Structure 1
Amino acid sequence: MEPLQKAIIVGVKLQHQEDFETSLIELADLAAACDVEVVGEVVQKLDHIQASHYIGKGKVKEVLRQIDEKEANLVIFNDELSPTQIRNLEADLDCKVIDRTILILDIFAQRAKTKEAQLQVAVAQLQYMLPRLVGLRKSLGRQSGGVGTRNKGIGEKKLELDRRKIEEQIDRLNKELRLLVSQRQTQRKQRKKSGIPIVSLVGYTNAGKSTIMNAIVEQSQHIPAKQVFEKDMLFATLETTIRKIQLPDQKSFLLTDTVGFVNKLPHHLVKAFRSTLEEVKEADLLLHVVDFSNPNYKQMMEVTDQVLKEIGVENIPVIYVYNKADLIDFSIPLVEQSAVTLSAQKRIGITDLLQMIRKEVFKDYQQYEMLIPYSQNHLLAYLKSKATILSTEYEENGAKVIAECRQADIEKYLPYVVQESHM
């Protein structure tokens, strides 16, 4: 059994940094997700981060005092540390030192289930370590497992490899990743070709995206479907999950759920998970899920918007889903123009959300009545693959069909349209 790790968390509050307190609370949550107990906290207000130790010399002594008093064996810093800062801090504190980036990488490593996610995390870990290898042999030896809070993973021996070996490993993993990515791109093209609208869940980690996905699947199928893993913890979902949602009027759409975002999401991770995150760019509609019970939900929304912007997601319609409203004194469901306030856990407001999705993704659909001659049976088969068939009657001159489809798909059928009406 691994010894219990007790940590002191350390943060620097820069001028005009409004989200500092939130980010420090989040750092403690990230530590808890790695089974680390936070026993102390040191904060310093500065105009800029100290180049040598991140914090000033006086604060280093304060951290040392807390290590002794609280019997801590780990110090976690709220920002990414440079190789020099890690070396200096470990020398002065005589204790294992990690930063926010390593903590997030650790959680991703624990949660990664699919081959692709595991490769993506491994690449991010190695890229983080690469600049920290030079002149850090003693320091990295202290890091036991190399990455963060665990005594497993990359391992000490691998950390002792030289830069060239690490770069070769990154290249090899990236080649494997590219193969998986190209397979997924092929699947993505097939999905796009099918013409079924794609709706993507996005949002801060632990906002309830997987719970919403499960609730929508349940509501549309009226039976408990294969559940997506959901738990009240950070980064419960790393893999892209796709479910086909069938609506009562025979229309359907694909619902995708992917990795959640977090403040100061390490750029190595964004880079490694870019192909996964870019699934969102293919969506016809985004459901931006927000933990409405969190006092800092507006900052979390800003972080999500920032990451989406970074990966080039723009000009996609958005429905804001204010979730967990049952945890605060708020009357639900509340439906607004492009937002709905609900409780996915209690299944309140899911019907309203489905109606909003339907209205948005099928807004350019129209209803047509057509008479297709029996000699044109192939057109009827094509129509079934492209449209929602509401009724079919077989008459003397052909099949009388009432269907809903996109205006773009109706061109082939114009000679056979008897009447049309807007939905």
Structure 2
Amino acid sequence: MDSAAVIEFLGDVPVLQRLPSSSIRKIAQHVMVKHYNSGEYVFKEGEPGGGIYFIWEGEVEVSSQFHSNNHDSQVFQWRKFDYFTQSESIRQEDVIALNKLTCLMLPDKYSYLMNPKSIWSEDMNLETCAPVEHILSLDPLDVNTFRGVTLKGAPKSGKVYGGQFMGQALAAASKTVHFLKILHSFHAHFLLPGDINIPIIYEVDRLRDVPNLAARRVNAVQKERIVFFLIASFHREEEGFHHQEPTMPSVPDPEEVLPKNGLEEGVKLPRHHLRSQVSTPTFVPWPTEIRPVDPKTYTRHTTRHPSVVYWLRAKGRLPDDQALHRCVGAYYSDLLFIQISLNPHRREGMSPSSISLDHSMWFHRDFRADDWLLYVIDSPTAYHARGFSRGQMFNRKGQLVLSAMQVGVVRKMTPSMAAYASKL
């Protein structure tokens, strides 16, 4: 059977989509093709199954007998993209082909490929992995539900950082589509502040799946309330037209500018950090190297132009998975973003505040988030306590790799408004 066809099929198997793309490719190398005629047993009760079976074509009937006092039994029918294996628990199963059946069987000795250490890496090492990869790793609860946490080494300011919501939600969405379909856009809404002290449950709805496109909605849930949601679109790479109008500003190379004070340290995660441990409301640096192009030092009370330009990249080395790099790009994008719309209104004695409302992004080209990217942000308008910011990221070749826009509530803060604003 053609290897490309095998990879194409395996990428559409829901239980495999949460695996690193490298694991799916390795599974494709080791599966064996099994054919059965209608009425033939795939295996009988008590017989070893030999591996994990993925239904390529046809249907099977599974009769499960529970050895209990009431001798309950159940009958299931499974079809294309379902999978099964011989149970080793309290039940026994007969699996019978209902019609002409073709399965891909992964032998038991390769079953470890189904249990990687993270959704991004087969063998994640907390000692060496990039901090942002660890932050954007999720625990799959089932094929459409994932759990994320705010790690003790993740940026925060008393609530979940907006970029974390976006990056983790996109990670969940990306792990429910064929790995050859890549994120090209999303539209997100911030509804309630995220609690850094409890896990975030990401629930994915599979809105559309056609050969070259997919769409997903992701709800982030805490305390049984939706605190954030986004709708993301995915597209398989195709040949087509191309042009670029925006030009990357002429700025010094990142090696020639100084890091931003307080943000250049990167996140230092504790050794053997457990994902069951969540955050505490203490300041930690960003998992990102940042190099502002403007050498001047400003305070939050300094009036200035509503724009900023800076270089940034992830600390450490990321796996070669474009889905992860785009999730990291979304994570980056909320850094110093809507706050730019406050710049013309800053002055001594006035305390400004900003709260993100919605955020949209478009990904134009592949990029590496662990290589330097130039983030160019400006705010063309603010009105009726709403600021509007837009951003563009360029790689070092001057190619535009992504665009972003955000609207947020921006206002002058007063003591009586502080409690109210925190609830928006």
Q: TM-score w.r.t. structure 1 length?
A: 0.29
Instruction: Choose between structure 1 and 2: higher helix proportion.
Output: 1
Instruction: Choose between structure 1 and 2: higher strand proportion.
Output: 2
Larger Cα-atom Rg: 1
Structure scoring higher RCO (CA < 8 A, sep ≥ 6) equals 2
Q: TM-score w.r.t. structure 2 length?
A: 0.29
